[in-house]
Structures are given as C-alpha cells and as structure tokens.
Amino acid sequence: MSSTQNILVCGAGGFIGGHLIADLRRQGFTGIRAADRKPLEEWYQRFDDVENLHLNLERLEDCEKAVEGYDVVYNLAADMGGMGFIELNKALCMITVLINTHLLLAAKKFGVKRFFYASSACVYNGDKQRDPNVTALKEEDAYPALPEDGYGWEKLFSERMCRHFREDFGIEARIGRYHNVYGPNGTYDGGREKAPAAVCRKVIAAKLSGKHDIEIWGDGNQTRSFMYIDDCLHGTQMLTNSDFIEPINIGSSEMVSINQLVDIVEDIAGMKLKRNYKLDAPKGVNGRNSDNTLIQKTFGWQPGIKLRAGLEITYRWIHDEMVREQAAGGMSVVNRT
C-alpha cells in the first residue's frame, strides 16, 4: 500500500485502533484520519499529526463525513468488551451492525479502494466449543451458524454484508476474524476488559494491596488463545493489502486455560495467590482456539509472539498505570479486584 494513500481508521480511540494508527505513522503514512464516538480526551492513544474526528459512526451522515476523500477504511469500531460485557449487553452489541452497514454505504458512495472489517472468533458455531480440549477452529466452522448470542451474530451478519457489497458493488472488502487481542494501552478495568488485562490487573492489585487472593470467573478450565497486538497489526495490514477475499483467522494457536493464564501472570509478578472461583460469572464457551492452516497456506505467516512475552509487556504497562493512579489518589487497588 502506497504511503500516499489516505487511510481512515474507525474505532481509532480504542485499543487496536490506537495501535494501528501508531504503526501506520511509523511506516510513514501521513494522510490518516481517525474517527471514534468517544470524546477525544478518552482515546487510548491520540496523535496531533492525525485528523481526529469525534463522530458517531452508527449514523450514516457521520460515516459519510469520515469516509469522503479516503482510499482505505479500517473498520475496528464496535460497542464491545470482554465476556462480562458481551454476555450482559446483547442488544448494544447488535446495534453495532449500524456502523459496518453505514460505513459500507459510505464506501460505495465515495469509491473506497479497500475496506477491512474486524470480525471475531465469536462467529464460530458454539457446538464446536463445548470442550476445553477444543479442536482448533477452521474458517468453515462458522457454518452452520450458531455464533455467540448478540455479539457473534452481529459479527457474522456484518461479514455477510461485506461479502455482498464486494459481490454486488465491487467494494474490495477484507475480513479478519480476531482471536482475543491483548497488549498495553487498552482497557484493564471497568467491565469491558478482556481476560489477559483483567488477570494482570487482579494480580497487580493483590501485590500492591497485600491481599493475596484472586477471583477467577468460571472454574478456570475454559481455554482460549490470546494474540499480542503487534501480531494483530501485521496480520490486519497484510490481509487488507492482499487479494484474499474470504474471512480468515487472525489469532494465536497457543491455547491455554484461564488457570494457566493466571499461572503465567503470577510468575511474572513473582507471587502465588489463593484462587477463588466465581462459578456463576460470565465465562463464554468452554474452549476456543485458532486453526491457522489457511493463513499459513495463503501468506506463509501466522501470529507467533509467545503469550509469556506479550504478557510481560502488558503487565508492566498496567502495573505502571495502576501505581500512577494510586499515587494520584485514584480508586484503591483493593477495590479494583
């Protein structure tokens, strides 16, 4: 992709969007527009040499303002969070369908050259995810459809919208199915955080408070794979710039249980905690992992940053943030667990 192209990042105030803009700037791109409905002061990362727009992309008119004059659109915008959010906010997750639909209409109107849609492993059939020792999920496992209620249905429907806008109107849409992206400069508390950030926060809170126990949602045996943000950025741009038109997994194949995730973070922190299991808490499917056969075959690449390495960076960032907030008189770390 030429550095002279104009690039729009939607959901720019979020975790992945902020990192994507930082990476595009490092590569020398200058025509970058950033759009998000969060007030600018709430963006995780914001850059003064980027056109930053406070827009509600659920509205068609705001999507047209964002898209006009731009060649490439990355749609990372969604009302979402970790399992604690998506299980309890299904309607809000479904309303996100307006964002992708209106962005596609704007892309058609203004002749966008490339359109990336951030889908999710939550599109996969739930019947294939009942066992923690899950068989890694292939792209074809999205059908027959039985995705995560709410969030997963919205993602699967929006994938179909991308497909039909490509077939009917020539929009060069690309679809990446993300598997649990984590890293620094993102949500780690407040209810929308995902498991790696939540576990880091809880371990750090235990260390800082001296209260050496941790609450784990479910029995801790549920399994996942977690992809570090740098791998996500590489896979996203690689797919967007390619001729590959079908949905594809962008995720690590390094599967761990939640208990093993806690083990790793405890080891990074240099401590062991008493584990209290909240069996009635939202925990999602019993097992999920990414089958990377297709991305390896197509691109000769797959996400490869090891979980331990990525968690060390993430842990340090969250630790520094929590210490800074504590020093500034913010919420007690004891209450953050």
Active-site residues, by number, are: 151
Strand partners, 97: none
Dist. CA 140–CA 67, nearest whole Å: 32
Q: For residues 139 and 249, is the Cβ–Cβ distance under 8 A?
A: yes
Q: For residues 47 and 21, is the Cβ–Cβ distance under 8 A?
A: yes
Dist. CA 61–CA 36, nearest whole Å: 14
